[in-house]
Structure 1
């Protein structure tokens, strides 16, 4: 809508300062001619917006002019309230700041939008961790966040999975990431990724550092996740799956089954699924019971068969629950309360 585009131009100029018509057109994905018309409409409406001609020129608003939040539409106002997650904000020590910011935003909204935002807050609750995940203790998160903000290096003692487990590191924290309820710090040199809850000791420093010009946190994290999953899946398993079984193995398995699956006459699907290791695949496929049959690799199939035989032996009907052979002598019937009549 044109009204929304006019507000976007005004906000872009207030945020970025001077901008050319070409740059505005690229930001809004419209033609330069459309930008000219929109700027003229803003000027006609009394917005103190003017143009600097020549090389290096562009449009800008008069210093000190600020628009009010009355230009927000319903969806934008609701999204702003929904975007503020109280859990992560509190963990970073920003809980009071978030509450104050939401209060100010609410007060600036027109009555109709304020009512919509209030209704949204009573009907939606966002929580990042999984259902069964325990909250990690992250005692040094505020210090790490402060170092990220101020651009200061940290000296930490860090616990990793390989030997030696406890190591000393100097970190240049570029940014923080919250993934499934767990905090990660992306730090140089490298950069590399560290779990914040695995920091055992931390010392703040006054050493400044510069984030490389070619580093951007969001693209880095996407690449890190893709590389992690690529390294995680080191082999493949050929399986026969009952309907719905792939979804119980997780997203990666479901996608692989959809991409490689071919139907079998008995209603099952033959598919090639990525696996991390024999141990991981053994545990995952065992949980599916008879809904999966492994065809390859042969060592995984043999291992599952051996486990199935051991389970069958353990749960055999002629065994006592405590492992002793059950007594096959029939148990005498209990006496009845009726009197016994002699012949």
Structure 2
């Protein structure tokens, strides 16, 4: 028997309310039989757990019963203070609530873990936006937070990259994701789930429509799948290039990691030190702009249209500076 698992069962019931034994078993990765056995042991220990029969029944704690937060390991106490970091919490309009929750959590911890958690909070700071970028302004973010939590649809006017650039949508928000300082809304629109950059929402208003988020929707799994699909859609072609030794050193600071990995895996270095490699490309125009960051440390061998685009751009620059 695991005392830690019994505590997990107790905290599950305390935080979730009524749960079937199957749900408890799935959460803890044990068999249903083990979940029944743990529930019985809690009852034997004097914890007021009782069963509610019926199709929607399950196990729950007696109303009003609470347990102090005990049994935490040092690592668990540290990890809790990575939740609700102040920057994202402020963006979501939850800074005061997060601060209050942290104080209450500290008060509930034993003295040694309280000291460990305080030390952890003092030595980590999250600054989400990348270098050379100002934080994106997302004035409608708190409206979407409320919509996600209350499950109310939102009518938006949204600016996108393809024509028509401005569109109107009724969104049913499923969740919010912060990536590199940029907030994204995952929402259902009509019959499909999509991803929307919150800073590109021009207008937003909460509607009277209520909706139910699918029980089997997993925000983390959706986001991972979305990123994989994005990379597949993003790179539609390839180019063969030559890179000087300095150009290869400059790659990580100037081109995306997918290009860097492609060079590392396909590069063939000649006697002159220059390496020939095959890299993924989005479009001729986009690839030309990215590769020009390397200046004379890169030469495009193929395709012909990208090589010509590089030559044309260099020619324009030469004329602008009176060289040609």
Shared fold per TM-score greater than 0.5: yes
- d(CA) in 2 for partners of 1:34 and 1:207? 42
Indicate how the Cα distance of structure 1 residues 153 and 306 shifts in structure 2: closer, same or farther if over 3 A, else same: closer
Which residue pairs with 1:279 in the alignment? 285
Which residue pairs with 2:162 in the alignment? 162
- d(CA) in 2 for partners of 1:99 and 1:52? 36
The one of 237, 241, 252 equivalent to 1:247 is 252
**Deviation per CA, 1:40-68, whole angstroms, max 9, x where unpaired?**
76566554557899x99987655543321
CA contact (8 A) 1:13 1:19 kept: no
Indicate how the Cα distance of structure 1 residues 37 and 207 shifts in structure 2: closer, same or farther if over 3 A, else same: closer
Q: Quick check: 188-197 or 11-20, which moved more?
A: 11-20
Q: How does 1:102-141 map to 2 (within 5 A)?
A: 102-141=102-141
Indicate how the Cα distance of structure 1 residues 244 and 33 shifts in structure 2: closer, same or farther if over 3 A, else same: farther
Structure 1: any 5+ residue segments left out of the alignment?
316-322, 325-343
Aligned pair 1:181/2:181, yes or no? yes
Indicate how the Cα distance of structure 1 residues 310 and 52 shifts in structure 2: closer, same or farther if over 3 A, else same: closer
Q: How many angstroms does 1:246 deviate by?
A: 4.2
Indicate how the Cα distance of structure 1 residues 227 and 99 shifts in structure 2: closer, same or farther if over 3 A, else same: same
SS of equivalent to 1:137: coil
The one of 219, 236, 243 equivalent to 1:217 is 219
**Deviation per CA, 1:231-251, whole angstroms, max 9, x where unpaired?**
221210122343435433222
- d(CA) in 2 for partners of 1:214 and 1:49? 27
CA contact (8 A) 2:267 2:278 kept: no
CA contact (8 A) 1:246 1:257 kept: no
- d(CA) in 2 for partners of 1:170 and 1:307? 43
Q: How does 1:92-111 map to 2 (within 5 A)?
A: 92-111=92-111
**Deviation per CA, 1:195-242, whole angstroms, max 9, x where unpaired?**
222222222221222334554322222222222222221210122343
Indicate how the Cα distance of structure 1 residues 25 and 216 shifts in structure 2: closer, same or farther if over 3 A, else same: closer
**Deviation per CA, 1:146-205, whole angstroms, max 9, x where unpaired?**
122212222222222334333332222222222221222222222222222222222222
CA RMSD of aligned residues (A): 3.4
Q: How does 1:63-78 map to 2 (within 5 A)?
A: 64-78=64-78
SS of equivalent to 1:203: strand
Which residue pairs with 2:276 in the alignment? 270
- d(CA) in 2 for partners of 1:230 and 1:83? 32
CA contact (8 A) 1:239 1:296 kept: yes
Q: How many angstroms does 1:99 deviate by?
A: 1.0
Indicate how the Cα distance of structure 1 residues 23 and 91 shifts in structure 2: closer, same or farther if over 3 A, else same: closer
Indicate how the Cα distance of structure 1 residues 210 and 37 shifts in structure 2: closer, same or farther if over 3 A, else same: closer
**Deviation per CA, 1:65-85, whole angstroms, max 9, x where unpaired?**
332112221211221112212
Q: How many angstroms does 1:131 deviate by?
A: 1.9
Which residue pairs with 1:327 in the alignment? none
CA contact (8 A) 1:155 1:203 kept: yes
- d(CA) in 2 for partners of 1:201 and 1:291? 45
TM-score (norm 2): 0.81
CA contact (8 A) 1:261 1:269 kept: no
